[in-house]
Structure 1
Amino acid sequence: MLKLRLLIVEDEKEQREMLSGFLHKEGYQVFSADSGPPALKLFEEKSFELALIDLKMPGMDGLELLSKLKKLSPDTQVIVMTAYGTIETAVAAMKEGAFHYVNKPIDLQELLINLKKAAETHTILAENRYLKEQLEGRFHDTTIIGQSKAIQEVLSTISRVAKMDTTVLILGESGTGKELVARAIHSLSPRSHKKFVAFSCSAIPESLLESELFGYERGAFTSANRRKEGRFEIADGGTLFLDEIGDVSFDMQIKLLRVLETQEFERLGGKESIKVDVRILTATNQDLLKKMQDKTFRDDLYYRLNVISIYLPPLRERRDDIMLLIDYFLKLYNAKLGKEIKGLTPPAKDILINYHWPGNVRELENVIERGVVLARGDVIDVNDLPEFRMPEQKADFPVELSLAEMEKRHIQRVLEKTKGSITKSAEMLGIHRNTLRLKMKEYGLAAE
């Protein structure tokens, strides 16, 4: 494994040499500078994953150096060192992009922990940047949009599993973009120059599934007047994506398992064993663990498919991405339909942000396409949106309750539902975590 490159910028020679020696022994490739200008020169000559900067230095101080370093290398994670009396300055540095700060005198174990976390953050950012560049370069019409933590984790996993020729099970509700993830994995894999074949196991009758997947010989059945290749043969050398794998019958599961284990099969009506080299990606919106308990999905097939799993959260669980997706679809359908829609009116925007999106990203795309078509002016208004069916809610609060009491009871119910999670409760309530904590204190509520 390559050593992480670390730049130490400290004007005190004894402190600089102590840190350099310690971190070199801990496995880092350490460079050092006694002030801002030589540090910038090193940055221009080399690339660094990590930097450790003293805030108080003569000439160019740590804040100015931090700003210049982040412009040169946005992914470099910077930890600032500060004396006890300059915590405010350290907080200001974090606002400027520093990963974290440590107090002097330096607690070396605390420093190691922070450097490890900073290195992990750098790795994720670098992976996601690489993935984004590769996706934009290889297929412009399929883009994974999102800045939420959940989507960033998905992107990070894609970049890691793409190079490995292993099976991946993609989980998520309908419309969350499971095929998009499969295409991204294929596009970044060594098989990207070969075919990507997508097939929905629920799109055709069970009686035709075997012939569609494995092909058939002439005369295999009444209308088989010629030999036909199945999806496995078509995808040979590339990637086969089997969507809705949870809908496959028990008998077909046995045949799929054999192909996964041997990469061999016979066409329907044929005797010749055909060998293929195919990477298998699958997806489902069903609970396969429950189907295993119900004995409708084979354990051995599940473990074969689920070497790596990627979960795509529903759109209602990543509302931070809704406006990004809206902007993306506006640009897409403006270009396709020759329109110049600039955005949405505030009431229309509020509806889309607060809607529960049972159809997920696919439903949102359809809504924006409709809005672009129907908009009379250069913005989409409420009248251009479909009539949304909101989830039914029981009005189980007595009408005699005050608003404060109703709010208290609702917060209490949400806390119970999330098992006391402040973060999840705040997301469900649509408020900041600090606001929720204040209201819990006001109403005497405690997280379980």
Structure 2
Amino acid sequence: MAMAEMCRELLKSKGYTSDVVTNGKEAIERVTIQDAYTIILTDLVMPDMDGIEVLKKVKQQNPKADVIVMTSYGTVTNAVEAMKLGAADYLTKPFKRDELIIVIEKILQHQRLEGEIDRLRSELGEKYTFGNIIGESPKMKKVYEIISNVSNTEATILIQGETGTGKELVARAIHYNSGRKDNPFVKVDCASLAESLLESELFGHEKGAFTGAAKDRTGRFRTADRGTIFLDEIGNISLSVQAKLLRVLQDNEFEAVGSDDPIKINVRTIAATNADLEDRVEKGLFRRDLFYRLNVIRILLPPLRERSDDIPRLVSHFLSLHNKKNRKKVEGISREALSKFMSYHWPGNIRELENVIERAVILCKGTMIEPVDVPLYQEKIGSIQDLSGKSLQTLMDQVERQIIINTLELTHADKEKAMKILNISRASLYNKLNKHKIAGLLPS
């Protein structure tokens, strides 16, 4: 009892609150009634119920509670056994007062870190729940229904939709509502990597496998083991990489570049594309057998122009988001500005809408977003009459060029910010800058 009182007084002097009981049975009764104890300090040798039994029962009652066992020199072996059963630490008597405080503070720091990890995991899960896929239109309700049905299965998913429709958001919602949610979600942007780099990125390589392979590389599939891999813009991968990917989907194994040793994995695959894969199959650009493997469950995301009833909800969502992000207090959007949104065709879909709202929030001088605050890209490239006689590819290039220019204007030519807003890789951004001859137009 003298040891217990000494420990209580020591803890009190350091600002900690503690309770003292005289035996193991009383300790278990206290823990059963009140689960607020985060650390239990118990002697190892006690009458009636020893410290090992206390440890077992505490862990059954409250698995998150940490137990420290105190032991004399002759029972250190028992302390090691206690550690195997889940004890957080042990102290050999007699111990210095500072030793106890050091052990307790180390455990409390670990608990704080675990709490932060749990909080972040919870926030991440909430971010990608269905509630964050905004929309009540019939086509979106169909998407929700499919996500709900497939999330907790192991089915391979193919998500198809135009650029900016939210394919990655749907992929993450599936992952974070599945049994794999506590394991990695690994995204690969297949469009931004050259063929030689993509194979190594996906499957890894051994040191010396090719020029420049100075050390082993794990690869994204192994990183995603027991989790989900998201292959974005899968329509861009070469036939040789397609063959290797097909084997992964069929047999759950592959070899790293430069190795003959098969690597077994347990990964769920979600693929996405804005391309017409059936057309690419017919043209011999995409393997038919791989298409069938990917197309177990297909989710078609509608473009924003086909779900315009959802625009007011999306505007409200992005307005709240970017007010908070940019420390602004824009109260809403005028009827005239919203009418302008409702009649616009949104070639960049939800991503374009979010960019326009963010720009408006930043530049708006009043409390309401007005039409003058939302110059739309169609207005900058000309009216429908001005576009007649031009090919679809030419029109798409014009829109893409203007989107990039406006994004760079918004970010004051900060390419890192532009990459994040456009959701493209560095290589992809620089390729588009060169393609559209934009670099020379940027502010110095």
Bin for the TM-score computed over the shorter chain? 0.5 to 0.7
Mapped partners of 1:240, 1:275: distance in 2? 15
Deviation at 1:137, TM superposition (A): 8.1
Mapped partners of 2:322, 2:385: distance in 1? 38
> Where do residues 146-165 of structure 1 align in structure 2 (5 Å cutoff)?
146-165=135-154
Deviation at 1:139, TM superposition (A): 2.7
Name stretches of at least 5 consecutive residues in structure 1 with no aligned partner.
Answer: 1-133, 396-448
Q: Secondary structure at the residue paired with 1:225?
A: coil
> Where do residues 188-199 of structure 1 align in structure 2 (5 Å cutoff)?
188-199=177-188
Partner of residue 271, structure 1 = 260
Find the partner of 1:355 among 333, 344, 358.
Answer: 344
Deviation at 1:208, TM superposition (A): 0.7
Question: What's the CA shift string for 1:128-171, capped at 9, x where partnerless?
Answer: xxxxxx99882337710001111111011101001110101001
Partner of residue 227, structure 1 = 216
Question: What's the CA shift string for 1:90-131, capped at 9, x where partnerless?
Answer: xxxxxxxxxxxxxxxxxxxxxxxxxxxxxxxxxxxxxxxxxx
Question: What's the CA shift string for 1:191-245, capped at 9, x where partnerless?
Answer: 1110000111101112211000001111112221111110100000000000101
Partner of residue 174, structure 1 = 163
Partner of residue 240, structure 1 = 229
Question: What's the CA shift string for 1:229-277, capped at 9, x where partnerless?
Answer: 1010000000000010111111111111011111111111122211100
Mapped partners of 1:275, 1:298: distance in 2? 23
1:364 counterpart = 2:390 = no
Q: Secondary structure at the residue paired with 2:127?
A: coil
Find the partner of 2:281 among 281, 289, 292.
Answer: 292
1:139 counterpart = 2:139 = no
CA contact (8 A) 2:128 2:173 kept: no
RMSD (CA atoms): 1.9
Deviation at 1:344, TM superposition (A): 1.3
Length-normalised TM-score, structure 2: 0.57
Q: Secondary structure at the residue paired with 1:194?
A: coil
Mapped partners of 1:238, 1:170: distance in 2? 18
AA aligned opposite 1:288: L
AA aligned opposite 2:308: R
1:302 counterpart = 2:291 = yes
Question: What's the CA shift string for 1:55-87, capped at 9, x where partnerless?
Answer: xxxxxxxxxxxxxxxxxxxxxxxxxxxxxxxxx
Deviation at 1:311, TM superposition (A): 0.4
AA aligned opposite 1:306: N
Deviation at 1:387, TM superposition (A): 4.1
Mapped partners of 1:140, 1:209: distance in 2? 29
Deviation at 1:349, TM superposition (A): 1.3
AA aligned opposite 1:168: I
CA contact (8 A) 1:135 1:187 kept: no
Partner of residue 106, structure 1 = none
Mapped partners of 1:149, 1:310: distance in 2? 14
Partner of residue 322, structure 1 = 311
CA contact (8 A) 1:258 1:264 kept: yes
Q: Secondary structure at the residue paired with 1:332?
A: helix
Mapped partners of 2:199, 2:320: distance in 1? 41
Deviation at 1:296, TM superposition (A): 1.0
Q: Secondary structure at the residue paired with 1:202?
A: helix
Q: Secondary structure at the residue paired with 2:210?
A: coil
Change in Cα spacing, 1:135 to 1:282, as seen in structure 2 (3 Å) is farther
Mapped partners of 2:228, 2:287: distance in 1? 23
Mapped partners of 1:333, 1:283: distance in 2? 27
Q: How many pairs are equivalent?
A: 262
AA aligned opposite 1:322: I
Q: Secondary structure at the residue paired with 2:378?
A: coil
Deviation at 1:295, TM superposition (A): 1.2
Change in Cα spacing, 1:135 to 1:182, as seen in structure 2 (3 Å) is farther
Deviation at 1:388, TM superposition (A): 3.0
CA contact (8 A) 1:135 1:184 kept: no
Change in Cα spacing, 1:166 to 1:211, as seen in structure 2 (3 Å) is same
Identity of aligned residues (%): 51
CA contact (8 A) 2:205 2:216 kept: yes
AA aligned opposite 2:126: F
Partner of residue 446, structure 1 = none
Mapped partners of 2:309, 2:376: distance in 1? 23
AA aligned opposite 1:351: K
1:206 counterpart = 2:192 = no
Q: Secondary structure at the residue paired with 1:170?
A: strand
Higher helix share: 2
Q: Secondary structure at the residue paired with 1:139?
A: helix
Runs of 4+ in 1 over 6 A off after TM superposition: 134-137
Q: Secondary structure at the residue paired with 1:210?
A: helix
Name stretches of at least 5 consecutive residues in structure 2 with no aligned partner.
Answer: 1-120, 387-444
CA contact (8 A) 1:145 1:325 kept: yes
Which stretch has the larger CA shift, 187-196 or 219-228? 219-228
Deviation at 1:366, TM superposition (A): 0.2
Partner of residue 35, structure 1 = none
Partner of residue 251, structure 1 = 240
